Each structure stands twice: as C-alpha cells, then as structure tokens.
Amino acid sequence: MKSHFDFYQYIFSKPQGVAWHPENGFSPLEKSVNSEYALTLISPALSFDNVHAVLSALHKHCRILSVSLHPLSGLLSCYGLVVAVDITDTEAHIKELAAKLAQQFSMEIALTHLAPSLSEPGLLVMDMDSTMIQMECIDEIARLAGRYDDVAAVTEQAMQGKLDFAQSLKTRVACLEGVEESALLQIKSALPLMPGLVTLLTELKKRQWVLAIASGGFTYFADHLKAWLELDDAVSNVLALENGKLTGKTKGRVIDAQVKAETVVALQQKYNIAPHQTVAIGDGANDVLMMRQASLGVAFHAKPTVRTQADAAVNHLPLDALLLLLKP
C-alpha cells in the first residue's frame, strides 16, 4: 500500500473483506468466511503499517481468515477493523498479547466470541457514574457539602473492589446528612455526558435495542438521564429526603453488584431479548457481575482489575467505540 489513503480505499472497496498474509499483506478474498471469533482493531486512524504489525504478531496464535472494515467506521469517532479468526491458542493468552499490542500501537484491540449483532434487537445495560457521565455523583454532592475528600476516598476503594459496596455506600451517604436538595438540583442540571454516549444510543435506537441504566448511584440522576435520553429503563438507589434535606440514608434495597447482574436477566426477560443479544458496560468492580451476566461484558475506562475480568475493554476512546465490537 502506497499510503494510508490507498489502504482505506482498498478496504472500503471490499465490503465482504480481504485476505491477509504475513508476507504478502492484503489480497482479494477468494470466498466469504464465517467465524465465531473476531479480533477488532479500533482507532481514530488505523494505518497499514500498524495493522500489518499487529496481525503479524497475532497470526501465530490465531488463524486469520479475513479482514473487513466495520460498516459504521467513518460515521463514528473511530474506525474498526474486524478480523475473523480461528484461535489456535487460549483466549486468555491472545487477550494478554492483544492488550500489549494495543498499548504499543495506540489502539483498542478486542477478542470477542459470538458477539451480539446490530442486525437484530438487543439489550444494553449501562453503569451511570464514570460510564454514561463524566463524574461520580456522590462525590460531587460531597464536594458541594465540603465533605469531598472523605467521600471520594471511599468511592475510589469501592470502585477497585477493596470495600464491600453496600457498606461503602452506607458510609458515604451518611456523610451527606443535612445536604440541601438544591445541591442535587445543581448537579442534575449540568450532568456532563460521556463523549460518544449520544452517538451510541442513537445508533442502537435505530436498530430497536433496549437501553437501560443499572447504577449503584441514585434515582435522582438516573431517572433524569432516562427521561432526557429517552431510555427504556433505569434501576438505582433512592436517597432519603426529609424537609428538603438528605437524611444520610437510602430507601429500599441497595443496588449492588448482584442486583445489577439480576437486572440484566430481568430486563432481558421483560423486553423479550435473546440472551445472546445482551451487553453490559461499566467501569468499576461493582459492574463485574453484570458484565459476566451479559453475553458481552465491556469495561469502559476501567481499572486493570476490572478490565481483566471483562470480555472486552474500551480504555481510551469514546463510548461509541462499543458499536464496533458488535457484529454488523
């Protein structure tokens, strides 16, 4: 390939995909292929040299059957190159190698098995804080109340899985006793959406996907996002208020990791979605069970301990990169 333009032009002109050889590079595909496994390379700019280097490193661990550009490439914040493969090594080893190559070549690389498809209805269950929005709401409430340091430290430990979530929630909420409801209104009126969120939701709505929030955060913000973004469902914790002030307690059951996982099943059944068409995305230890419950669990800008337990990860790119992990 003489240039990046030639590379893109060639791939774009072959919607059925192309073949790849470590010595000869890309060539026309003799026949279409089907595979349960796919390696997806995602970046704002995928160069021929980088793609060839990544495939050269990976082909010793998986047989590369075809390479194609994801149809949504160019419509999103990044491009996705879908590599159909038959694995000849363990998934764990290939994912470990892919993570190192992703860091080396500044891209996202995900190995997926029987990924959900964009061509049929599905379910996306999303964590809220630091996934859908660029903040932890409880930390921001504490900031306005002058109690940020104490609450944020507990939040960080909970997200890393170092503290039991329910106990950590109780401890943090207790710090908020007496905070005026006006502080919640101030935060709710200016929730900073995660880059790529609106595009992600828009594309999935076009394809009749069910969109939901399962959050260890609070209904005050989750229900607002549900209405604002026209989502189908939202499950989160309820902050107790009396006389316009927080009581320092929550009401009802705590939405912890187990409840989040149960929510995936409940929503899948409620909306009659096939189990293989379920996706969960989040950033914290509280999201791991939910990710495992879904057919595809995606860690988003997550801690290493969370990334290693997810099926795939988006570490640096906007949320709409998730679309490129789904079959066209």
Name the DSSP letter for residue 179: -
Kindly state whether residues 170 and 256 are assigned to the same domain: yes
pLDDT for 146 equals 87
Q: Which among 65, 80, 113 is the end of a domain? A: 113
Check pLDDT > 90 for residue 45. no
Domain count, the chain: 2
Kindly state whether residues 75 and 173 are assigned to the same domain: no
Average pLDDT in the 5-31 region? Answer: 78
Query: By percentage, how much of the chain surpasses pLDDT 90?
Result: 75
Average pLDDT in the 248-263 region? Answer: 95
Q: Which residues of 142-159 are buried (b: 16+ CB within 10 A; e: fewer)?
A: bbbbebbeebbebbbebb
Kindly state whether residues 19 and 57 are assigned to the same domain: yes
For 109-161, what is each residue's pLDDT tens digit? 999 999 999 999 999 999 999 999 999 999 999 898 888 887 777 777 777 77
Confirm whether 81 is domain-assigned: yes
CB atoms within 10 A of CB 213: 26
pLDDT for 212 equals 98
pLDDT for 6 equals 67
Mean pLDDT of the chain: 92
By annotation, the residues acting in catalysis are: 127, 129
Average pLDDT in the 250-274 region? Answer: 97
Residue 164's pLDDT band, with cuts at 50, 70 and 90, is: confident
Q: What is the CATH number of the domain that holds 162?
A: 3.40.50.1000
Q: Using CA atoms, how far apart are residues 124 and 246, in angstroms rounded to an integer?
A: 32
Average pLDDT in the 239-261 region? Answer: 95
Packing angle of the helix pair 165-174, 137-144 (nearest 10 deg): 20
pLDDT for 255 equals 96
Nearest in space to 155 (alpha carbons), one of 283, 280, 252? 283
Three-state DSSP class for residue 40: strand
Task: Give the CA-trace dihedral at 188, 161, 233, 190, to 10 degrees.
Answer: 10
pLDDT for 282 equals 97
Q: Using CA atoms, how far apart are residues 47 and 112, in angstroms rounded to an integer?
A: 22
Kindly state whether residues 91 and 134 are assigned to the same domain: no
Give residue 79's domain range.
4-113
Burial label, 285 (beta-carbon count in 10 A; 0-12, 13-18, 19+) = buried
pLDDT for 197 equals 98
Check pLDDT > 60 for residue 5. no
Phi, psi (rounded to 5 degrees) for 303: -70, 155
Kindly state whether residues 73 and 173 are assigned to the same domain: no
